[in-house]
Structure 1
C-alpha cells in the first residue's frame, strides 16, 4: 500500500511540475480521489479496531489526526513564507508572485484576515475555491468559478495543495459518526454523494466540474468507497489466499497507473466520470484490502508510504524554490523537482513526523492505562 500512496503523491507532483521523460501517471485530480479512498479505508479500520474500548474517544481520535497533519503542514507553511520573504529581499521588492494577490486586495482587511486565519487552521481551505472577492467592497461572494476572480483567492494560498487537508479534516469530524454504522447506511451516503454530482453536472454543466472536485459533499463518496474496501478486508483477512496474490494486485495497479494516459478516454455527458477514471477508482477500491493484507508487515513498504504526505504537501515549496534557480529550467525540471521533493520529504519525516508519531502512539497507551485504572 505504501508504494501506491507515494506513487499517487508523485503523480500530483508531476501534474503540477512537469512530466519525467514523458511519464505523467494519472494526474493530480484522480490521484487525490484515490488518496481519499485510501484515507477512508484507514479511518474505517482505526475507528472500528483501534479507537474502541478504553480508547473510544472522539477527542483522542480527532486530536491524533490533527497531530498527524498539522506539524508538517505548519513547517511547510512557515518555510514558504520565509522563502517568499528571502526572494523579496533578493528582488528588492515585496511585490513578488507569492504575495502579489494580497496587494491586489487593496487593504480589504476582513478578506485578508480570512485568508490568513484560514491557512493557519486549515479547516475550510477547500472553501477558498467556492468564493471570490468583490473588489467594489472587499466582500467575499460564493461562486463555482473562483479561479476566474480578480485576484483568484487561490493565488493567496501559501500551500495550495492543502485544500485537500480541509476536505480530510471535514471528513475526520464526521467519520466516527458514520463509519461505525451499518453498511446499508454507508452505501446510501455513497449513492447520495454520487447523485449530487450527477445533479450538479446536469444543472450547471461542465463549468462546475473543477468546483465539484473540491466540494466535500461530492467528495464524500470517495472516502466511503474506502469503507467498502475495509468491509472487503474483513471478509478476506482470515482467508488463506495465494502467496503471490498481493504481488499480482500490486503489479496490476502499478501497470494501470503508468498506462493510464494510454487508456481510451470517453465520457457520457451526464455521468460525472470518464471511463479511465471510473476504471481506476474501481481498481483502487478493489485493490486496497489485498495490498494491506499482504504488505502491512513490510517495513520497507510502510517506510515508503510514510513519505507520501510530506511529498504531497511540500512539493509546491520545492517547485517555487527551484523555479527561482533559472539554470535548472528545461526538459528535466520535473525530474529535479521530484528528486528534491523526495529528499525534503525524508527530512520532514525524520525530523518532524517520526517524533510526533511516537507521541501520538504513546497517547493511546496512556489513555488506555488511565481508563483501565
Structure 2
C-alpha cells in the first residue's frame, strides 16, 4: 500500500506550496520526511533483493537513473521551454539561466546545496532539492544497507547531527530537514524497518516503530519546554518521523493492489509538475477554493507523463533487475 501513501505525500507537498498550513505547520515538510523513510525502506529491499554485492553498485545506479531521470528531464525541459517563451521571473526563476544553472539542474545534487551555491535562484523544479538529498543517499546505499554495522555507525552519526539541529546548535532547517548528514537518519530508519520485515521479525518491527515514535514524542516535549520547538521545521520533522514511521509499519507489508500501483505511478509526476502548473495557470496563487482543481490537474498531467515518458521504461527496468 505504499503507492497510495506516496501519492498522498506528493499531494501534501503540492498543497504546501499553495501556502496551505495545518495549525500553523507545513504539511510538505512532514511529507518529505515520509518520503525519506519510504525511500530508505524501498531501496533496502531493492538492494538486498537484486544488488547485494558491492560489484553490482553501478547496476543499482543505472536502475535508479532509469527511474528518476525520464520524468524529471521531461518536466525540467517543459519548464525551461515555458520560461523561454514567457520570460516570466518567479522566486525560483529569478534570472536568465547561465550554463552553471543548467548544469546544476541537470545534475540535481547541487540543488540540495542551494544555501551555499545560490542554485535556488534558477531551479526549474523547486522541490528537486530533496531529490538531490535522495540521489546522494542512492550513492551511499549499496555500501551501507547490506552491512548492519555500517548502517548503525552512519545512523548514529546522522542522529548526532539531527539532534544538534533540533537543539539549535546548527541550522535546524538545513541540517534537520534538507542536507544528507542530518536526514540520512530517516532513510536508515526506513532501511532498518525493511530488514526487520524481511526477516519476519514483526514484533521487533512494531517495537522499533513504537520506540522511535515515543522518543520523538519525548523530543517534542523537551523542545517545547526549552523553546526550540518552533525553530524552523523542528516540530514538522518530528511529526513527520512519528506518523511516517507508523504508517510505513502499518502499510508496507500489505499486498499491493492495481489501484495502489497506479497511485504510486502518479505520485512522482505530482511531485515534479505542480510548480509548473502554478506558474502557468495560477500566477496569482492557488486559493483554497481552487485547491481541488489544482491537485486534480497535477494528477491528470502526471498520468499523462507517466504513460508517455516512463511506462515504456518500466519493463526495461524490471528486465534489467532480473539480469542482476
Contact 1:266 1:275 in 2 (8 A): no
CA separation in 1, counterparts of 2:25 and 2:263?
Answer: 18
- Counterpart position of 2:211: none
- Counterpart position of 2:84: 85
Partner of residue 102 from structure 1, selected from 74, 95, 100: 95
Tell me the matched-pair count.
305
Partner of residue 230 from structure 1, selected from 194, 205, 218: 194
- Counterpart position of 1:194: 159
- Counterpart position of 2:128: 162
CA separation in 2, counterparts of 1:267 and 1:46?
Answer: 41
CA separation in 2, counterparts of 1:80 and 1:186?
Answer: 38
Contact 1:129 1:214 in 2 (8 A): no
CA separation in 2, counterparts of 1:355 and 1:293?
Answer: 27
1:332 aligned to 2:283? no
- Counterpart position of 1:131: 117
TM-score between both structures, scaled by the size of structure 2:
0.82
CA deviations 1:21-57 (Å, max 9, x no partner) are: x89996111211110110000111111112247x961
Contact 2:63 2:317 in 1 (8 A): yes
Contact 1:295 1:301 in 2 (8 A): no
CA deviations 1:118-152 (Å, max 9, x no partner) are: 101213220123334xxxxxxxxxxxxxxxxxxxx
CA separation in 2, counterparts of 1:99 and 1:38?
Answer: 27
CA separation in 2, counterparts of 1:304 and 1:211?
Answer: 30
CA separation in 1, counterparts of 2:293 and 2:196?
Answer: 39
Q: How far off is 1:17 after superposition?
A: 1.6
- Counterpart position of 2:316: 359
1:191 partner SS: helix
Within 5 A, what are the aligned runs for 1:337-352? Answer: 337-352=294-309
Within 5 A, what are the aligned runs for 1:260-279? Answer: 266=224, 268-269=226-227, 277-279=237-239
Question: CA 1:50–1:238 in structure 2 vs 1: closer, same or farther (change >3 Å)?
Answer: farther
- Counterpart position of 1:322: 281
Partner of residue 305 from structure 1, selected from 246, 251, 264: 264
CA deviations 1:198-233 (Å, max 9, x no partner) are: 33555646xx22222221111100100111211231
CA separation in 2, counterparts of 1:330 and 1:290?
Answer: 34
CA separation in 1, counterparts of 2:106 and 2:139?
Answer: 18
CA deviations 1:316-342 (Å, max 9, x no partner) are: 111111124x6x964323222211101
Q: How far off is 1:353 after superposition?
A: 1.6
- Structure number with larger C-alpha Rg: 1
- Structure 2 gaps, min length 5: 204-219
Aligned-residue CA RMSD in angstroms? 3.3
Contact 2:25 2:236 in 1 (8 A): no
Q: How far off is 1:235 after superposition?
A: 4.0
2:109 partner SS: coil
Contact 1:267 1:274 in 2 (8 A): no
Contact 1:198 1:270 in 2 (8 A): no
1:102 partner SS: coil
Within 5 A, what are the aligned runs for 1:113-124? Answer: 113-124=99-110
Q: How far off is 1:359 after superposition?
A: 1.4
Q: How far off is 1:237 after superposition?
A: 7.4
CA separation in 1, counterparts of 2:293 and 2:146?
Answer: 44
